Chain A
Amino acid sequence: MVIDWLPSILIVVLLALGVIGALRRISLWRAGQPEKVNLIAGLMAMPGRYLNDLHHVVERDKYMSRTHVATAGGFVLSMVLVIAVYVFHVEQKIVTWLLLGALVLMLCGAFFVFKRRLNPPSRLSKGPWMRLPKSLITFALTFIVLTLPVAGVLPEGFGGVLLTLILSVGVIVGLGELLFGMGWGGPMKHAFAGALHLAFHRRPERFGGGRSTGLKPAQLGGESHGVAKPSDFKWNQLLGFDACVQCGKCEAMCPAFAAGQPLNPKKLIQDMVVGLAGGTDAKYAGSPHPVRKTGKEPGKEVGHAKGGANNIITAGLIEADTLWSCTTCRACVEECPMMIEHVDAIVDMRRFLTMEKGDTPNKGSEVLENIIATDNPNGYAPSSRTNWSADQNLPVMKEKKQADVLFWVSDGAFDMRSQRILRSFVKLMKAANVDVAILGDEERDSGDLARRLGDDATFQSLAKRNLATLSQYSFKKIVTTDPHAYHCLRNEYADFDTEGALKGVEVLHHTTFLNQLVQAGALKLDTFKGGKVTYHDPCYLGRYNGEYDAPRDLLRSLGIEVAEMERSRFRSRCCGGGGGAPITDIPGERRIADMRMEDVTATGAELVAVGCQQCTAMLEGVVEPRPEVKDIAEILAGQLIEEVH
């Protein structure tokens, strides 16, 4: 009877529709720019990446990880077996019982998905995502009932035509969501796009516990620079956007979102999806980009964003302010279970605004002009770069030519507050008899700020000139107190290091280096006698470079038990100072630094230890009374027991 074949036919039809949808989706991604990936190796690696790397992120939320393992695992197994049983009629008992087992597993998972959706946190998107658990349950229940007779639990033909028809509706609902929806942009798209995203990820180094945080160089000299239209993204970036599950973990961590600035990273990714597929964001059912309640230009409400693969993104799809609100802190990226690269996308789009349009807001263009003219953001006379060290007796590489350690001073050289950090670090190095030299006036801005503001041309020029200078000298280590310069030197200069200036050179943050000195007994330190101390992880030290322990070890070496903030280590909240955010200065409802200081205050600490001059500046900018802010080098220098000669 046709009716008996109905489920099988439906499965095949929906499978086919799903595949057609998927192919169409693939064609949307292919509108992006070419990017070489190893297709076979990527696909081979995909399951491992899913089971290890992705699961590792999801595992931070045990409830969700178990739920997902049950649901997704149950579904994948069920689907394979459903095809085996209902399309290829493999009906051995063991297979059917296995199928039943898989379906029950999925049902359990779906139940917890359902339960979570009863009272979902604000970060979760609603809309079709509210339907998903019901569809999952429908699928599982339908196939359980359908399979019971096949497994011999119920007699053949149980329930008759009526049940078959009902079950067919169930099959349509369940498979419609899970197969058709997967290909045609439903919530289940995440499984398909996510799997391929894992296979063809633009930063495969991230898998297997690796870290890849350096921005990819912009191609200079072409017709256009940066990403103006969705089709200007690499194809696998577009694919990455499609992997988004709208879980809103990024939204919950984003400092700009929390400050009420017009950026919600989840919405940004969804905007990109709207852009790549064309249309409007009317169906978006999550939190919007915060809309300013005050100020001259209120942001747009959801539903008004329009885009297409070849439409200019900032002309209708998102506001430029959204892009300029980002501090590039990578909290979103760190948190994303789908390993989407929000920051890459934002900087790509900034590159267009800055390099093509010259539209870097507020002080942005002035600062970039300063960097171009003077090699430092505030436009100081380059010859004043060593003013701070006039009394430090620091050898300069130009004369010394070689040293164990090259101290990369960074632009803190021009800032009186940062100079205290520099002097403290020098004091410690001297106490430990480190063979050190600086570049002096030959040093230039690392280019961090220019790069984050989208001016990759200036960044690349600075990088090349710095590398040319570095290549003249011989040193084993570069140590810097500035995590931003550290990141550039360690992770981003390699793309331009044709001379091998940094080959074999260890680039270290000063806390790492100081920790080595302390561990080696080269520094004699007194116990810290002040009050409670907490530690703020700078983004470019922690999330960008994975250094969470050295600063804490150093504090411990002073007898300090760090009173940790709730948001610490990889979940540290940005100070608001990264990515040129203080320069583009997009207004919000609150200041990020104020929120961070509230985190500090909540620990009851009287002192917040920092490892970054930018964080120091931002946190000290919070109105008093507030805890004291000191770089770890300053705290250490204060406890240094100096040898009396």
Chain B
Amino acid sequence: MSQYDALFEPLNINKLTIRNRIVSTAHAEVYATDGGMTTDRYVKYYEEKAKGGCGLCICGGSSVVSIDSPQSWWSSVNLSTDRIIPHFQNLADAVHKHGGKIMIQITHMGRRSRWDGENWPNLMSPSGIREPVHRATCKTIEVEEIWRIVGDFVQAARRAKEGGLDGVELSAVHQHLVDQFWSPRVNKRTDEWGGTFEGRMKFGLEVAKAVRAEVGPDFVVGMRITGDEFHPDGLNHEDMKQIAKYYDDTGLIDYFGVVGSGCDTHNTLANVIPNMSYPPEPFLHLAAGIKEVVSVPVIHAQNIKDPNQAKRIIEAGYVDFVGMTRAHIADPHFIAKIKMDQVDQIRQCVGANYCIDRQYQGLDVLCIQNAATSREYMGLPHIIEKTTGPVRNIVVVGGGPGGMEAARVAAERGHKVTLLERAEELGGQITLASKAPQRDQIAGITRWLVMELDRLGVDVRLGTSADEELIKEFKPDVCILATGGRPFVEQNPEWGADEGLCVSSWDILSGKVEPGKNVLIYDTICEFSGMSAADYLASKGSLVELVTDDIKPGVGIGGTTFPTYYRSLYEKEVIMTSDMILEKVYREGGSLVAVLENEYTGQREERVVDQIVIENGTRPNEELYYALKEASYNKGQIDVEALFDIKPQPVLSEQVDGMILWRLGDCVSQRNTHAAMYDALRLCKDL
């Protein structure tokens, strides 16, 4: 008996029984190496989800069927060669072993790619219209090429089937070639492949017919579509219902996956993988609309992260399967924990979009808060086993994400763990980050860690400043410093930090300093902190100019997140200024004057404001480290070879006389949440 029974009612797609209603939908993993093969890392990543109970994994978002649809720049899966088949067999076996099912999304990207690499192809599109997100120019596809690509789809489907996968998903979403033909925004053809509704549908239909003919009636062939492109000249929801019904009526398609929003502008792309600024399931209504007109199961993902939310969606019958893809990236044991009655132990996705924002930079997908995800192949565990070695006395200093993770992992290992935190609450910089508008959900990282530390019985001492004496009192076997950093506002003495002419973004976000009326933020980092400080100030009514010496404010923020900042900042009329260096600040009467210099011309400008906020990153808090270093057994050193190899620190197997000292996170040098948590996990997992 469980409140989640609705999630655990199996449902068939075609003849394939899916054990529950939770799907990891297709996303680009950026793990396919060796020319787009699903190698060890890829297999282990999906095996972990299957082990954790996920019903269906649809892998390989945007896996290409043709050699002229490039995949190497983002390590996507390559189905254009028979070389993939044995790799698929490994993948299928690994997932099937745990009762899961696995399909792959197959596509030709058309204009939505990059041509500058791999085979240097001409990209193709129905009418040769450039795609802005990838700055992708392309040619108008010719009929011979259309038929060749239909054939490529057939071969790709055959390879998936021969590789033992349970099905293929034809991508007709995110402006891939199929929906480039669908959308009048892109398809301006007047031949039989465009013009009329049937003309625009023809390419997708030929693909579906040919693939079905190849794989036979029982092999699953699904289709992922948008529910509304959100472009005035694109496909709206009614158009999409018509399209879905049209394809459903052919009987060729076994399920529809529905995604809200088009994807070929920066702003619409942000909708596709809604970050923490979005409400829960913002586009469920679109999927439910499609479900009204089709006869086969409908899958919908997009900001469904919580088991109760998923259950409610299924119980209400909006869709048949919920996609919980990022939820599984954050915690591949999501389902197992529901089944174990450990819902409180689920590491919930916070919508930081670290995963997808890396993907759009062509980097491997990683989870901001779960460093084990996709590193299973290296031996990083999701479930940390108790040590069979000595139980150690561990003292962790600093309750930011790195320190909390270190304490958590050490406690899971069965050690006696004390966590000292100077502030009155845990969280470190995450607490600051969560103060900005639309960024509150980032605190979910802290929430989960706090609950875990409590469950594991870690002795958390808040309001405790650690010094050399205090550490000695604890007589730790291992002392881990994760003391973080502090704002580096004194880098340029001319900024006048010592005279109180400027404050840090931390001062603003923490509420320590009241927002000024007329504020200049100088942001050299161009990531979340500066944008968040600007958004925070603007939301408090300040007039804000966000100045950077970099190429644009927020340039370091990924493709699904900078648009939501921009929406908020433009709406609040924040002025964004690039390429200007803050040279000096001086006081003039009751005001402050900021002297800005254009990096490229040297031309100077002045701004008269009443508050100057500096975001210049952090300097490490390393005083305690150097106080403890000399007396420590290992002189504070970490064996990086062992660390990078995910091997136990050699010092742990030595006869240690004294205390082992390590430090991690920003108290070494400024990196990010993931970096600190990764170090914590790989250092402590063998503790």
Q: Which A residues are within 8 Å of any B CB, using their own CB?
A: 378, 380, 384, 386-388, 390-393, 414-417, 419-420, 529
Q: Given contact pairs A391-B98, A529-B388, enumerate 9 new A-B contacts (beta carbons under 8 Å).
A: A378-B1, A380-B5, A384-B5, A387-B9, A387-B10, A390-B10, A390-B20, A391-B19, A414-B1
Q: Are A390 and B1 interface neighbours, CB within 8 A?
A: no
CB under 8 Å from chain A, chain B span 326-376: 339-341
Complex Cα spacing A417 to B339, Å = 7
**In the complex, chain B residues whose CB is within 8 Å of the CB of A390:** 10, 17-20, 99
**In the complex, chain A residues whose CB is within 8 Å of the CB of B4:** 416
Residue of B nearest to A388 (CB): B8
Complex Cα spacing A416 to B17, Å = 19
Complex Cα spacing A384 to B2, Å = 13
**Interface class of chain B by DSSP:** loop
Question: Given that A420-B340, A529-B388 are known contacts, is A387 also in contact with B1, CB under 8 Å in the complex?
Answer: no
**In the complex, chain B residues whose CB is within 8 Å of the CB of A416:** 1-2, 4, 8, 339, 341
Residue of A nearest to B99 (CB): A391
Q: Are A387 and B340 interface neighbours, CB within 8 A?
A: no
Q: Is B428 an interface residue (CB 8 A)?
A: no
Complex Cα spacing A391 to B9, Å = 11
Complex Cα spacing A416 to B339, Å = 6
**In the complex, chain B residues whose CB is within 8 Å of the CB of A378:** 1
**In the complex, chain A residues whose CB is within 8 Å of the CB of B8:** 387-388, 416
Chain B interfacial residues counted at CB < 8 A: 18
Residue of B nearest to A529 (CB): B388
Q: Which B residues are within 8 Å of any A CB, using their own CB?
A: 1-2, 4-5, 8-10, 17-20, 98-100, 339-341, 388
Residue of B nearest to A620 (CB): B341
Most chain A CB atoms below 10 A, which of B1, B5, B98, B339: B1
**In the complex, chain B residues whose CB is within 8 Å of the CB of A529:** 388
Question: Given that A387-B8, A416-B339 are known contacts, is A392 also in contact with B1, CB under 8 Å in the complex?
Answer: no
Residue of B nearest to A417 (CB): B341
Residue of A nearest to B12 (CB): A390
**In the complex, chain B residues whose CB is within 8 Å of the CB of A391:** 19, 98-100
- List 8 A-B pairs, minimum CB-CB distance, nearest first: A391-B99, A390-B10, A391-B19, A390-B19, A416-B2, A390-B17, A416-B339, A387-B10
How many A-B Cβ pairs are below 8 Å?
A: 35
From B9, B20, B100, B341, give the contact of A384 (CB < 8 A): B9
**In the complex, chain B residues whose CB is within 8 Å of the CB of A392:** 99
Complex Cα spacing A388 to B19, Å = 8
What are 12 A-B contacts defined by CB distance under 8 Å? A384-B9, A386-B10, A390-B18, A391-B19, A391-B98, A391-B99, A392-B99, A415-B1, A416-B1, A416-B341, A417-B341, A529-B388
Question: Taking the nearest CB of chain B, how far is it from the CB of A422, in angstroms?
Answer: 12
Complex Cα spacing A390 to B1, Å = 17
**In the complex, chain A residues whose CB is within 8 Å of the CB of B17:** 390
Complex Cα spacing A415 to B1, Å = 5
Question: Taking the nearest CB of chain B, how far is it from the CB of A537, in angstroms?
Answer: 25
**In the complex, chain B residues whose CB is within 8 Å of the CB of A387:** 8-10
Q: Are B339 and A419 interface neighbours, CB within 8 A?
A: yes
**In the complex, chain A residues whose CB is within 8 Å of the CB of B98:** 391
Q: Are B18 and A420 interface neighbours, CB within 8 A?
A: no
Complex Cα spacing A390 to B2, Å = 17
Residue of A nearest to B8 (CB): A387
**In the complex, chain A residues whose CB is within 8 Å of the CB of B1:** 378, 414-416
Q: Are B339 and A420 interface neighbours, CB within 8 A?
A: yes
Residue of B nearest to A391 (CB): B99
Complex Cα spacing A107 to B304, Å = 83
Question: Taking the nearest CB of chain A, how far is it from the CB of B426, in angstroms?
Answer: 23
Question: Taking the nearest CB of chain A, how far is it from the CB of B685, in angstroms?
Answer: 18
Residue of B nearest to A617 (CB): B1
Most chain B CB atoms below 10 A, which of A378, A388, A416: A416
Complex Cα spacing A98 to B558, Å = 107
Complex Cα spacing A417 to B18, Å = 20
**In the complex, chain B residues whose CB is within 8 Å of the CB of A384:** 5, 9
**In the complex, chain A residues whose CB is within 8 Å of the CB of B2:** 415-416
Question: Taking the nearest CB of chain A, how far is it from the CB of B568, in angstroms?
Answer: 42
Complex Cα spacing A380 to B20, Å = 17
Question: Taking the nearest CB of chain A, how far is it from the CB of B497, in angstroms?
Answer: 51
**In the complex, chain B residues whose CB is within 8 Å of the CB of A393:** 99
**In the complex, chain B residues whose CB is within 8 Å of the CB of A417:** 341
Complex Cα spacing A391 to B8, Å = 11
Question: Taking the nearest CB of chain A, how far is it from the CB of B609, in angstroms?
Answer: 57
Question: Taking the nearest CB of chain B, how far is it from the CB of A398, in angstroms?
Answer: 15
**In the complex, chain B residues whose CB is within 8 Å of the CB of A415:** 1-2
**In the complex, chain B residues whose CB is within 8 Å of the CB of A419:** 339
Complex Cα spacing A389 to B9, Å = 10
Residue of B nearest to A423 (CB): B99
